[in-house]
């Protein structure tokens, strides 16, 4: 069911009807028909549509941010920041994309010339999550609209008004009919779309379980897919680290957006000599993150996206507590309405606990003490995920060595890895397949066509 439910109050605000099977097929047919002309449109005209989408995100930032606060509980100041990030992605591809799509000349053995042309492949399906409902869409949509692909966008069921708002922005920006469509599709309709010869690729950002299902369907029907899945990112604090920087990064990196971030620093791994001081300072800072009304400017920690999401996190925490984990702060579902969960810190987490292996998608930090950098790396790599990570140390050589050994798609040295339009985003292991953003985002759903000239 597609519906707006305010996670701060639990109130069901509005319900939306899913597509009929005929409407789902018609949406794909419209996308295929639009592709014929959109892919042949002058590149600069496609770039201008993206430029207008960026401008509209900025002009409508307050209203769009309020939708994000309403539908998934994001604190309003964080929601406005997401509007600027999304706009910067559309601007990046509008401004830099045409140069990145220029033909690449190859050296040829013999006579003649050869070049590689980056061409579109056709209609694509995007399956997007609720945690960054504008930014996630932008990083999939912007490079592919510029390239000349057309888009069917199935957003999360709890973000229907956001999905419709983005579709209106695309229309207002000048995207022709059928180029960008918001589809309230069922799971069966998604499967039918992926199976259709008209669809050429699918991108999903979501859970590992959803990624396995979509990846299996895409493989069965020989469709290109990009899967950006979960993460249990480590933040390693070595003995010589600047603790001011490390504590600030660890707290912000874990509790921003109520911890509902795939690249959140879910595991903080601290060297033994600085363990006591780090934990004391970390706890002191985390206690200032008190749950509050996400519509208020001063709120940093809003509700989780739904009561179901909160229940999932609470189960993992209770499992850890029951098996001997230490709770430094938080750890209990509060009374009252809304999907609120307190900022929580656990330590003494062992492999017998779910919290050791699973991604905790909420405001819960897990702290580990280690005796050496080698032990820190081994612990970091013991996770089935490999999205991002960070290393804090005063020794640049040690930082680089640890970073090289981490099984992750992105690593920050004395800083968190933050998303930026020009930087590739993606992971390894169970964190997914493929890359988004930067020039890499233009290559995933592209035909790298060789042109040989006599």
CA angle 174, 88, 69 (to 5 degrees): 90
Q: 241 and 221 in one domain? A: no
Cα–Cα distance for residue pair 265/263, rounded to 1 Å? 6
Domain count, the chain: 2
Q: Could you say which of 208, 228, 358, 359 is catalytic?
A: 228
Q: pLDDT for 112-137, tens place per residue?
A: 999 999 999 999 999 999 999 999 99
How large is the average pLDDT for residues 405-413?
A: 97
Answer whether 100's CB lies under 8 Å from 442's CB.
yes
pLDDT value for 199: 98
Point out which residues pair with 182 in neighbouring strands. 153
pTM of the shown model = 0.96
How far does CA 274 lie from the centroid of its chain?
32
**pLDDT grade, residue 110 (50/70/90)?**
confident
Answer whether 86's CB lies under 8 Å from 137's CB.
yes
Q: Spell out where 253-389 has E strands.
A: 267-271, 326-329, 344-347, 364-370, 385-386
Q: 108 and 55 in one domain? A: yes
Residue 145 belongs to some domain of the structure:
yes
What's the CATH number where 273 sits?
3.40.309.10
Q: Over the chain, what is the mean pLDDT?
A: 97
Q: State yes or no: is 228 an active-site residue.
A: yes
Q: State yes or no: is 262 an active-site residue.
A: yes
Cα–Cα distance for residue pair 360/354, rounded to 1 Å? 9
Residue 238 belongs to some domain of the structure:
yes
Residue 426 belongs to some domain of the structure:
no
Q: 21 and 45 in one domain? A: yes
For residue 360, pLDDT beyond 90: yes
Q: pLDDT for 278-320, tens place per residue?
A: 999 999 999 999 999 999 999 999 999 999 999 999 999 999 9
What's the CATH number where 100 sits?
3.40.605.10
Q: Could you say which of 159, 225, 262, 444 is catalytic?
A: 262
By percentage, how much of the chain surpasses pLDDT 70? Answer: 100
Cα–Cα distance for residue pair 67/151, rounded to 1 Å? 22
Domain of residue 344, residue span: 234-421
Q: pLDDT for 12-58, tens place per residue?
A: 999 999 999 999 999 999 999 999 999 999 999 999 999 999 999 99
Q: 281 and 224 in one domain? A: no
Q: 250 and 197 in one domain? A: no
> Is residue 67 helix, strand or coil?
helix
Q: 206 and 103 in one domain? A: yes
pLDDT value for 403: 95
Angstrom CA distances, 85 to 9, 68, 115, 248, 420, stand at: 28, 14, 34, 22, 8
User: Would the CA dihedral through 297, 300, 303, 305 be positive or negative?
Assistant: positive
Q: 313 and 221 in one domain? A: no
How, if at all, do strands 446-453 and 113-120 pair?
antiparallel
Answer whether 57's CB lies under 8 Å from 87's CB.
yes
**What are 445's two structure tokens?**
């759903």
By percentage, how much of the chain surpasses pLDDT 90? Answer: 99
Establish how many alpha carbons lie within 13 A of residue 423's alpha carbon, considering only the half-sphere containing its beta carbon: 12
Answer whether 264's CB lies under 8 Å from 254's CB.
yes
**What are 433's two structure tokens?**
């397949």
For residue 200, pLDDT beyond 90: yes
Q: 223 and 254 in one domain? A: no
Q: 446 and 411 in one domain? A: no
């Amino acid at each position: 069911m597609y519906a707006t439910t305010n996670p701060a109050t639990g109130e069901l605000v509005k319900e939306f009807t899913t597509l009929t099977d005929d409407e789902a097929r018609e949406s794909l047919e419209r996308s295929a028909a639009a592709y014929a002309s959109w892919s042949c449109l002058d590149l600069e005209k496609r770039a201008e549509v993206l430029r207008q989408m960026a401008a509209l995100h900025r002009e409508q930032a307050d209203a769009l941010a309020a939708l994000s606060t309403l539908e998934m509980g994001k604190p309003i100041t964080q929601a406005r920041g997401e509007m600027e990030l999304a706009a910067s992605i559309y601007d990046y591809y509008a401004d830099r994309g045409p140069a990145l799509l220029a033909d690449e000349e190859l050296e040829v053995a013999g006579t003649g010339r050869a070049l590689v042309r980056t061409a579109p492949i056709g209609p694509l399906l995007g399956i997007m999550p609720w945690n960054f409902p504008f930014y996630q869409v932008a990083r999939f949509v912007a490079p592919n609209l510029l390239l000349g692909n057309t888009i069917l966008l199935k957003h999360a069921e709890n973000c229907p008004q956001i999905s419709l708002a983005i579709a209106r922005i695309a229309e207002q920006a000048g995207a022709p009919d059928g180029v960008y469509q918001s589809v309230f599709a069922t799971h069966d309709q998604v499967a039918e779309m992926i199976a259709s010869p008209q669809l050429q690729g699918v991108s999903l950002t979501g859970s590992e379980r959803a990624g396995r299902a979509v990846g299996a369907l895409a493989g069965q029907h020989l469709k290109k897919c990009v899967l950006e899945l979960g993460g249990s990112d480590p933040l390693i604090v070595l003995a010589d680290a600047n603790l001011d920087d490390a504590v600030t990064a660890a707290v912000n990196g874990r509790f921003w957006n109520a911890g509902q971030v795939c690249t959140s620093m879910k595991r903080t791994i601290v060297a033994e000599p600085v363990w006591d001081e780090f934990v004391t300072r970390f706890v002191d800072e985390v206690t200032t993150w008190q749950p509050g009304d996400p519509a208020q400017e001063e709120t940093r920690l809003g509700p989780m996206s739904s009561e179901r999401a909160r229940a999932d996190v609470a189960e993992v925490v209770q499992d850890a507590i029951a098996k001997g984990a230490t709770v430094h702060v938080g750890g209990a579902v509060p009374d009252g309405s809304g999907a609120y969960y307190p900022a929580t810190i656990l330590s003494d987490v062992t492999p017998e606990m779910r919290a050791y292996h699973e991604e905790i998608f909420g405001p819960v930090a897990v702290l580990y003490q280690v005796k050496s950098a080698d032990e820190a790396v081994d612990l970091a790599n013991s996770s089935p995920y490999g999205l991002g990570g960070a290393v804090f140390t005063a020794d640049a050589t040690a930082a680089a060595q640890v970073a090289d050994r981490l099984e992750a798609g992105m690593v920050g040295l004395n800083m968190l890895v933050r998303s930026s339009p020009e930087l590739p985003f993606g992971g390894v292991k169970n964190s997914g397949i493929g890359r988004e953003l930067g020039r890499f985002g233009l290559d995933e759903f592209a035909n790298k066509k060789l042109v040989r000239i006599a």
